Amino acid sequence: MAEDVLPESRAREVRGVVRSAKFGNLIPIFCANCGKQWGMVPEHHVTFAFALCDDCEGKHGGVAHLHKEPDAVFWERIANEQREQGVPLTPEILAKQLEDPSSVYSKLKAEWDKHVRKF
């Protein structure tokens, strides 16, 4: 991907899991700048998490339109490809296209998979 994507704030190895009756397992996330623990997210309902602690935001400022979430970049590229082809895809047809390794959509998904870690 040519665009800058935000860094992942979840740890590579999951430790410190908290069970929640409402949300399931919650895993800690960390400040992308200093590494300080900065909240928790549901383990199985999140494909990406980014966090910036208050101290780092105060020192360095917030992220200002320089980075995008990998999911948003992926769906934007899918929409652009659909516009280029002039035919909007139904979810069923898109699912088939994603399974075909020679399709453009499958290649876009492979790029996206490089940036999003699955747990």
Break the chain into its structural domains and give their ranges: 1-64, 70-115
Contact between 13 and 25 under an 8 Å Cβ cutoff? The reply is no
Task: Please state, in angstroms and rounded to a whole number, the distance separating the CA atoms of residues 93 and 97.
Answer: 6
Of 30, 108, 27, 26, give the one whose Cα is nearest residue 70: 108
Contact between 48 and 65 under an 8 Å Cβ cutoff? The reply is no
User: What is the pTM assigned to this prediction?
Assistant: 0.52
pLDDT, position 45: 79
Regions of the chain with pLDDT less than 50: 1, 119
